[in-house]
Structure 1
Amino acid sequence: MRKIVKGRRFVARSAIALLAGATAAGFLAAPVASAAGVDGYAPEVAQSAVADMTEREGISPAAAIEILRTQNASVRTLDQISDKLGDRTAGVYLDAKGKPVVNVLDAATADEVRASGAEAKLVRHSTQALASAQSTLESVPAVTHTSIGLDPKTNQVVLSVSDAATGGDLAALLRTAHRLGDRVRVERVTGEMHLAILNGEAITGGGTRCSVGFNTNKGGQNYIVDAGHCTRVVSQWNVGPSQGASFPTNDYGLIRNTTGSAPGAVTLWNGSSQKISSHAAATVGQRIQKSGSTTRLTSGSVQRLNVTVNYSEGSVHQLIQTNALANPGDSGGCLFSGSVGLGITSGKGSGTSYYQPVGEALTAYGVTLNS
């Protein structure tokens, strides 16, 4: 769904939507100190994450804080195991306590995983088998307001079908899912899938509002990495001109930041900010935060990876799916976990939000995060 500035028509699309909107780059000037006991987290970010977990998961604040303390080390453990074992693993994720879990296909690999400090879970389907199933589903003509992504917790590919699903051949898609057996789970959802133009603080141009993504630089020039569906339709923003756009298929774009202000921190909407010191790939089960100019700071967790979302405007692949709140005007905004940048806000569904991995965008444009 795209938010249009006053005087333009507001166009709503339902379950999966793009989110557009805009202030200066989703970043404010100076980061604040880390919350006591939670390294890398600004106090407001830790408070938001704890509040989300206590309400959504019914755990105590102390247990929530322990998860935040645990998960960064767990992600590092999963990275090391994945590098070591390669395709002998069948997916990784964090459990409800933020501990590392590795899917394996045999007892010998399970022993190696346990020796490396993670829980081993014996599963039926290999990474290659699930990738083949996803590829088969994606070979069917796209059906708008559907998504296809990997759920390592259940060792399945999940086909989400909105009650607003249109276009293509839904019956053929469902028949294909049935033929793939228990490698695929069909999930019925409500509402549409929309683009969500916005990220961090708001930026405006051409009657459109989006949010700022991540401040970056190359050759002494500052740039903003943002949502491609934003930079594709607006050539000149209040913060500078668009320099690139990749959408659909991907959802990243580049804006040359001419404001003279480009701190490496995300606005928290109360005069403080969260420093972003690095970027990484997201992990299923990871507790995350999102900053955008409509819903501001929200929290949740990563639900699925490698998600294809079939928006009305086109299909986008390899997105991150979370349950953090996002709405129109949030497009381009930052997905992060404490001080680690993860993604750029692309769109939303019913109770879900979708993000372009930021690392792919940084590589595509040859830019680095500002410190």
Structure 2
Amino acid sequence: MRKIRKTSVGSPRRHAARSVVALVAGATALGFLAPTTATADDVAGYATEVQQAAVAALSASEGITEVAAKQVLRNQETSVSTLDAVTAQLGDRHAGGYLDAEGRPVVNVLSKAAALEAGRSGVTAKVVRHSNADLAAAQAALEAVPAVTHTSIGTDVRANQIVLTVAEAADSPHLATLLATARKLGDIVRVEHVSGEMTKAVYNGEAITGGGTRCSAGFNANRGGTNYVVDAGHCTRAVSQWNIGPSVGASFPVNDYGLIRNTTGHAPGAVTLWNGSYQRISSAANATVGQRICKSGSTTRLTCGSVQRTNVTVNYREGAVHQMVQTSAAVNPGDSGGCLFAGSVGLGITSGMGGGSSYFQPVVEALNAYGVSLNR
């Protein structure tokens, strides 16, 4: 799975002295931000360009009208909060939750009694066979096999299964053992074979640069009055000094988050949309399966899709990275470190790609690890 590059957000200025700031804001020189006027048709919290991109992606993937797509985006913010509350209430009687095609909450439960309880909270309940403990044990059994590069292991909450994804580049002598283990675990595990490989990718070029390496700037954050950029760990591990400041933290593999001290004097809490406008980020949260999302990066710029899986282990050549978010949003080399978000909510840091999917480090974990807060 390839690692991609980050893009930070900012309020661009015309003055040449702000060119470095523009890099932090999105790795491109931007003009003044054009004012936008909200209409009754807008989705709350979404910049116009993000709304348009998200609606277009949703309409194309689901075959629905723009009006219906906008309603899905409106539904999902409340649905995520409802799902979090219901799963907390159910405790070990649930086996994960997700958003359906309409952006409504669905929770997997282990009994009819739990289904009735969830239903009283306005959540659709689905009785399933495997508990969270069962799924965790199955994933742990697969991860106990020596890691096989170009594979990933994660939960398909909709199917109530663990999915072992094997790219065609996987050729480890341990692959046969991994597949045999999957077969022994029975129907709790599903094996999927995909084309290509799973690798990180950091290339030369524009955006944030240092030591001949290019990545994309991530979320602007602060701690004790000092500004930082939360980025991909494989980027900050590789480069000690960027054009926006020095790397001061790196966790990769196992995690894929890092920290750059932002010395530009400018660190707005917004994501560049690559056309002179931006998406304001006002909070951070964990991603939910089925959630419609977008990402900004210096190679593929603004792309949108949906969350496919969470708690995914990705086996890069450099080692395994755990608890990743898998999405259908397009990414490419150079996007590493870029921002994953749903409207004004920050969700993740671009890490890699493989098998037609993209992988992100949850941003909440990174913020907590470094004790920083998103700039707003």
Alignment TM-score > 0.5, same fold: yes
Alignment TM-score, normalising by the size of structure 2: 0.91
8 A contact 1:286–1:301 mirrored in 2: yes
Q: Could you tell me how far apart the structure 2 residues matched to 1:168 and 1:249 are?
A: 22
2:222 and 2:256 map into 1 onto residues whose CA distance is 19
Q: Distance in 1 between matches of 2:24 and 2:372?
A: 16
Higher percent of residues as strand:
1
Query: Residue 127 of structure 1 corresponds to which residue in structure 2?
Result: 132
Supply the AA of the counterpart residue of 2:304. Answer: S
Look up the match of 2:10: none
Find the residue that maps to 1:245 and give its secondary structure. Answer: strand
Q: Do the aligned partners of residues 21 and 329 (structure 1) sit closer, same or farther apart at CA in structure 2, a change above 3 Å counting?
A: farther
Q: Which residue of 1 aligns with 2:275?
A: 270
User: What is the alpha-carbon distance in structure 1 between the residues aligned to residue 35 and residue 83 of structure 2?
Assistant: 29
Q: What secondary structure is seen at the aligned counterpart in 2 of 1:232?
A: helix
- Matching residue within 2, 11, 19 for 2:4: 19
Report if the CA contact (8 A) 2:59-2:66 is conserved.
yes
What is the correspondence of 1:160-175 to structure 2 with a 5 Å cutoff? 160-175=165-180
Partner residue of 2:264 out of 228, 251, 259: 259
CA distance in 2, matches of 1:21, 1:91: 30
Task: Sort the Cα spacing of 1:18 and 1:134 in 2 relative to 1 into closer, same or farther, 3 A.
Answer: same
Distance 2:24 2:337 in 1: 9
In the alignment, what sits opposite 2:93?
Answer: 88
1:329 aligned partner: 334
Q: 1:369 and 1:32 mapped to 2: Cα distance? A: 23
Q: Which moved more, 1:217-226 or 1:55-64?
A: 55-64
Shift of 1:24: 2.3
Kindly provide the amino acid, as one letter, of the partner of residue 188 in structure 2. R
Q: 1:247 maps to which residue?
A: 252
Q: Tell me, in whole angstroms, the C-alpha distance in 2 between the residues paired with 1:348 and 1:32.
A: 35
With the length of structure 1 as denominator, give the TM-score of the two structures: 0.92
Separation in structure 1 between the aligned mates of residue 244 and residue 63 of structure 2, nearest angstrom: 42
Unmatched segments (≥5 aa) in structure 2: 8-21
Deviations 1:78-115 (A, max 9, x none): 01111211111111000011010000010110001000
Cα distance in 1 for residues equivalent to 2:34 and 2:375 = 12
CA RMSD of aligned residues (A): 1.6
| Residue 197 of structure 1, CA deviation | 4.3
CA distance, structure 2, for counterparts of residue 25 and residue 102 of structure 1: 39
The 2-side partners of 1:169 and 1:275 are apart by 46
Shift of 1:21: 7.5
User: What percent of counterpart residues are identical?
Assistant: 66
Residue 292 of structure 1 pairs with residue 297 of structure 2: yes
CA drift of 1:58 comes to: 1.1
Amino acid at match of 2:115: A
Amino acid at match of 2:281: I
Cα deviation per residue 1:310-344 (whole Å; 9 max; x = unaligned)?
Answer: 01121100000001000000000000000000000
Question: Is contact 2:6–2:231 with CA below 8 Å preserved after alignment?
Answer: no
> In 2, distance between residues paired with 1:174 and 1:26?
44
Residues 21 and 264 (structure 1), Cα distance of their counterparts in 2 relative to 1, 3 Å cut: closer
Q: Report the alpha carbon displacement of residue 59 of structure 1 after superposing the two structures with TM.
A: 1.0
The separation in 1 between residues aligned to 2:44 and 2:265, in whole angstroms, is 30
Task: State how far apart, in whole Å, the 1-side matches of 2:307 and 2:35 are.
Answer: 25
Indicate if the aligned counterparts of 2:138 and 2:185 stay in contact, CA closer than 8 A: yes
Within-5 A mapping of 1:39-78: 39-78=44-83
In 2: Cα distance, 1:160 partner to 1:246 partner: 24
Letter of the 1:18 counterpart: K
State the alpha-carbon separation in 2 of the partners of residues 26 and 96 from structure 1: 33
Contact 1:158 1:186 in 2 (8 A): yes
